[in-house]
Amino acid sequence: MLEKTEFLSEGCEPQMTALDCLNIGEVSANLAQVRSRSAVAIDCMSAETCATLSNLADQLQYRKARPVTGSVKTPVYQDFELDYEVPREHPFWRIAEALQSVFGPLLDGFRSEARSDSDTNFSLNDLIVQRYPPGCGGISPHRDHVEYRMIILIVLLSGDGDFRIHPERHEDEGAIIDFQPGQLLMMGAPGIASNFVRPFHSVRNITAMRRTIGMRFDRRLAGLST
């Protein structure tokens, strides 16, 4: 584990290390599909790397998610653990930087009337690590905040569960995305295409410890929100 941690913190190219199975051509091809399919998962890291990063994830300080969030009319039910305060020097931020170096130029090539000037400053400046213990309730259908822009990225390090995209907030409708450990989920966000609608999504049916790293471009953190 130390070797992996050291090369991530000492500045070696993360694309060639932690993201040891990521194919930039595959990223480009599937990114275009996200504009119409809402979410796509592709391979990004080996089982060995997933095991190393899972060990790192377990060393973080987690808190329980708020059981109910959202509004009275549209509550979201949550049952998982999270760490939203991962230090900037942590290796997981090096992964975010590596992915930004891949996605930034590709997103710059998109010509969407939905993009604002602030979207051209794409930066993965928001990082959250989550654990879903076996038997937990996961999270009910919800949409991410409108200020998360362009693309939302999630790396699945371990575990199982159903990641589902819903046409509406109803839990009994929707399609399961094939999303396995070692894969990177790309989910569209406002600005990725004209009239893009933020997808409702949920995570359910966890029977083995599910560990994820989520990375987003939050315009509020960049001081660019409107």
Report residue 120's pLDDT band, with 50, 70 and 90 as the boundaries: low
Residue 141 clears pLDDT 80, i.e. is over it: yes
Residue type, 114: A
145: burial class by Cβ within 10 Å (0-12, 13-18, 19+)? Answer: middle
Query: How confident is the model over 6-37, as pLDDT tens digits?
Result: 334 333 344 347 999 999 999 999 998 998 88
What is the rounded distance in angstroms from the CA atom of residue 152 to the CA atom of residue 217? 7
pLDDT of residue 194: 83
- Quick one: which of 213, 104, 95, 202 has its CA closest to 149? 104
pLDDT at 118: 57
How large is the average pLDDT for residues 60-64? 98
Average pLDDT over residues 212-218: 98
Q: pTM (2 decimals)?
A: 0.89
All structural domains of the chain, each given as residue ranges with its CATH number in brackets, are 2-216 (2.60.120.620)
Alpha helices in the chain (DSSP H): 2-9, 24-37, 47-57, 91-108
Over 60: is that where the pLDDT of 1 sits?
A: no
Is a pLDDT exceeding 50 seen at residue 225?
A: yes
